[in-house]
Structure 1
Amino acid sequence: MIVGRRQTEKPIRWAMVGGGGTSQIGYVHRSAALRDRTFDLVAGAFDIDPERGRAFGVELGVAPERCHADYRALFAAEAARPDGVQAVSIATPNNTHYAIAKAALESGLHVVCEKPLCFSVAEAEELKRVAADKRKIVGVAYGYAGHQMIEQARAMVAAGELGDIRLVNLAFAHGFHSAAVEETNPATKWRVDPTFAGPSYVLGDLGTHPIYIAETIAPHLKIKRLLCARQSFVKSRAPLEDNAVTLMEYDNGAFGTVWCSAVNAGSMHGQKVRIVGAKASLEWWDERPNQLSFEVQDEPVRILERGMGYLARQATAEDRIGAGHPEGLFEAWANLYGRFAVAMEATDRGDRGRLANLRYPDIDAGVEGVRWVEACVRSAEAGGVWIDYR
């Protein structure tokens, strides 16, 4: 259990690209990274408008001379300093991720990147190659995966408490974009523009989250083939989808479904992960992240609660407060940022022992997210047909 001790020897000197004063996700990144002093925010290129970005950086406490006009200026200036940054987080529109991440890695920096990592598997594999060459980590912002009850679900599947896994039922389907809100909301506008968002909207923006959580809970399941159908119910969003359903066959015979939607009218968030085995099922809902439903056939439903002594050790390792007190999104993200920091420090030291059992959404998770979106789009564009996953 976390008791306030920093998990690294020193804070990682850290910068942000994007995440400026009007960015909701930028605030989440900063709150998570700075919570346990595993990172110190010392530089950045916070906004596409250099003056606005500089003013915001100064407001955050960053020295004016370290608030840069763009990522190229940031990486060049910091490389020339003996106390230059060691890592950067990328919180910019999707179309910029690949170029910024590659430049950061080539500058010798660790990277935390918003998802999707890039637009194509070829680009993702290139980032993986550069990261390996430079011996730097890439962390991907699958923030919900930091919730502790996901660790409990993983432990229970590994222990065989569900039996052979038969079904994986995933959803991330909210209703906040049931109308054309992008007409007045810039944060939504770029997400439905393929120039900025890439080949998909809800598949990449929403669907990759429960896909990664399912991979975390049941890592032995590998997608064999899939079929995807997608729709643009708000017609101005075409060719990007605001609703999609994907069917998946796994190599062990299990079957999966993914519903991702921004037009599920009335739904607040709608991210649920249900894993069904031969003996029992588990369900996790991100609107109630401190609970895990464990449903054994012919027995009463059991609701497992975060922080309790009956949970697996790994399900309490990052708890921030005792049972009964709710933990939420910021704690989940902070757990991941803590793991990112440990991975960065251990990688720089060549400490393979510390890296051996450290799990976080890494470059491979980023590659798989891009692969899943690419496959879904390929299936949908072919008329919703089954395609081999690899």
Structure 2
Amino acid sequence: MINGEKILNQPIRWAMIGGGRGSQIGYIHRCAALRDSNFQLVAGAFDIDPERGRDFGVNIGVDPERCYKDYKTMFEEEAKREDGIQAVDVATPNGTHYEITKAALEAGLHVICEKPLCFETSQAEELEALAKEKNRIVGVTYGYTGHQMVQQAREMVKRGDLGKIRIIQMQFAHGGCNVATEADSAAQKWRTDPKVAGPSFILGDVGTHALYLGELICPDQEIESLLCTKQNFVEGRQLEDNAFVLLNYKDGAKGTLWASGVNCGSMHGQKIRVIGEKASIEWWNERPNQLRYEVQGQPACVMERGTDYLYDEALADDRIGGGHVEGLFESWANLYRRFALAMDACDRGDEEFLKDFWYPSVHDGAQGVKFVNKCVESADEGSVWVEY
């Protein structure tokens, strides 16, 4: 069980770009990063308005001299300090992720980036190559994958409890964008603007979360081809608010993915069901404490978080005793713990540790970008099968 003790001798000196006043995602990043004292927030360029950003930074305890007007100035000034930043968080609108992540890597910094990494597969491949060249860690915040029962599901697949995998059903289908929410919400406005959000709205915004959850639980399943159909149900919306994807995997398994913002009545709607030749498992992130385990011909079993019968790999992500409700902050904190371990191992040159250690990496982020691009290609060509 994790007791919140430090895992590093010295915390990683960390800065944020974006995530300022009024940013829900910025608050989640800070809570997760600072929970175990493995990161120390020492600087930031928190807002496009320098004065507002400086005022916000001071209010959360950052030295006013290290609250910068923009990220370029921050990189330049922090590089001059002996105690300068070692890692940076990119919590800005989608259209800025590529240039900021690239600049951070070129400045020799580790990066934690909101998804998507960028818009185009070629850009994602460039960032992946640059991270390797600079020997820096790039983490992508697929924030739901730090839940304990997701790790249990991964281990059950790995150990063969389900047998050969036949079907993977993924969905992230909520009803929060069932009307033109972008008319009254700045956060939703940029998400539906192709100039800022890129070629996709709902596939990029939530579909990639569902995809990575499937990739994490079933890492040996490689996509061979896909077919996508996407819709704009809300009148006047420029990008899709609903999409269905069919997936062929290289070993013969099949997959489905439903991404939606118009699933009326659904608060969140992120679920995954993995069906093997011997058994199936199902996880719903609105009930994160439970993992449903079903063996043909036997009573269905509901496994509970924090119990002794779970695999050790799952119990390692336990932050509170069984029976208490695990939440998003615990999941994100588990991911930030993994980011810290990966950055520390990278700085020490411990390639053996990194070889078998999972975290949502630059490669995973690049796969999300590729997935969105392939879905758009398929849908725009009339919902045809495309090679992956």
Normalising TM by the smaller chain, what interval? over 0.9
Q: Does 1:193 align with 2:193?
A: yes
Q: Tell me what 2:52 maps to.
A: 52
- Offset from partner CA, 1:343-362 (integer Å, 9 cap, x none): 11110111223323321000
- Offset from partner CA, 1:119-165 (integer Å, 9 cap, x none): 01100111111111111000001000100111111111111111111
- Offset from partner CA, 1:58-84 (integer Å, 9 cap, x none): 001001110011110111111111100
Distance 1:178 1:355 in 2: 42
**Amino acid of the residue matched to residue 289 of structure 2?**
N
Q: Does 1:75 align with 2:70?
A: no
The alignment partner of 2:42 has SS state of strand
Distance 1:182 1:348 in 2: 42
Q: Tell me what 2:95 maps to.
A: 95
Q: Tell me what 2:27 maps to.
A: 27
Q: Does 1:292 align with 2:276?
A: no
CA RMSD of aligned residues (A): 0.8
Distance 1:217 1:111 in 2: 24
Q: Tell me what 2:242 maps to.
A: 243
Q: Does 1:233 align with 2:237?
A: no
Distance 1:67 1:302 in 2: 52
**Amino acid of the residue matched to residue 212 of structure 1?**
Y
- Offset from partner CA, 1:177-235 (integer Å, 9 cap, x none): 10001111111010000000000001010011111111111111111000000001112
Q: Does 1:206 align with 2:206?
A: yes
Distance 1:101 1:4 in 2: 29
Q: Tell me what 2:161 maps to.
A: 161
- Offset from partner CA, 1:14-55 (integer Å, 9 cap, x none): 000000111110000000000000100000000111110010
Distance 1:141 1:327 in 2: 18
**Amino acid of the residue matched to residue 350 of structure 2?**
D
Where in structure 2 are there 5+ consecutive unaligned residues? none
8 Å contact from structure 2 (residues 4, 35) kept in 1:
no
Distance 2:19 2:135 in 1: 26
The alignment partner of 1:236 has SS state of coil
Q: Tell me what 2:217 maps to.
A: 217
Q: Tell me what 1:279 maps to.
A: 278
The alignment partner of 1:7 has SS state of coil
8 Å contact from structure 2 (residues 147, 317) kept in 1:
no
What TM-score results when the alignment is normalised by the length of structure 2?
Answer: 0.99
Distance 1:61 1:193 in 2: 34
The alignment partner of 1:105 has SS state of helix
**Amino acid of the residue matched to residue 123 of structure 1?**
Q
Distance 2:209 2:8 in 1: 27
Distance 2:306 2:351 in 1: 30
